[in-house]
A = this chain, B = another copy of it.
Amino acid sequence: MFYQLSIVQMSKMLQNLQHILDKGAAFADSKKVEMAVLLNSRLAPDQFNLTRQVQIACDTAKLGAARLSNTVDSAPKHADDETTLAELKQRISDTQAYLATFSEADFANAATQKISQPRWEGKYVTGEEFLMQHVLPNIYFHITTAYAILRHNGVEVGKKDYLGAMPYKS
């Protein structure tokens, strides 16, 4: 399930994020405002703006997969210097391309892996704890916050845009 949760579903959510950003761009066009206005929007003065929410969502997916598969040293680096929608969409696509390099076998030891981050000062959690209590809550947090910033500005995004297509069977 690590592969499904951290690769397949995260790639889907990044696709939904691209779609939500496209809706924002269409809205900006219709209102004759620059997309940069939306990309610089936030819900509180000390909250990260929309651009940063997208960057963090991408890095949460990238570093989640890298740490769970114990390949963090070879993960691609990103400078967080995107300023346009086109650059942010490229960042999302690059992250998805990176996620696509993983297979189920890469997560064979993920559950019991000891995982740390620089800011945890040498402390660690298990891979299962990391996935459940850090990666998943964080990526959904930043994608939902991006959605909320756009929604608050008047973009007509709805739950279906956020969830994406469901694999209904009959």
Contacts and interface: CB of A to CB of B under 8 A. Distances in A.
Given A123-B168, A168-B125, A141 B144 contact: yes
A109 interface: no
Given A144-B144, A144-B145, A154-B44, A167 B133 contact: yes
A136 interface: yes
Interface in A123-170: 123-125, 128-129, 132-134, 136-138, 140-141, 144-145, 147-148, 151-152, 154, 159, 162-164, 166-170
A13 interface: yes
Given A136-B140, A152-B152, A167 B43 contact: no
Given A141-B162, A168-B120, A148 B43 contact: yes
Contacts of A86: none
B141 A159 contact: yes
A134 B165 CA distance: 10
Contacts of A151: 43-44, 47
Interface of A: 1, 4-5, 8-9, 12-13, 43-44, 47, 114, 120, 122-125, 128-129, 132-134, 136-138, 140-141, 144-145, 147-148, 151-152, 154, 159, 162-164, 166-170
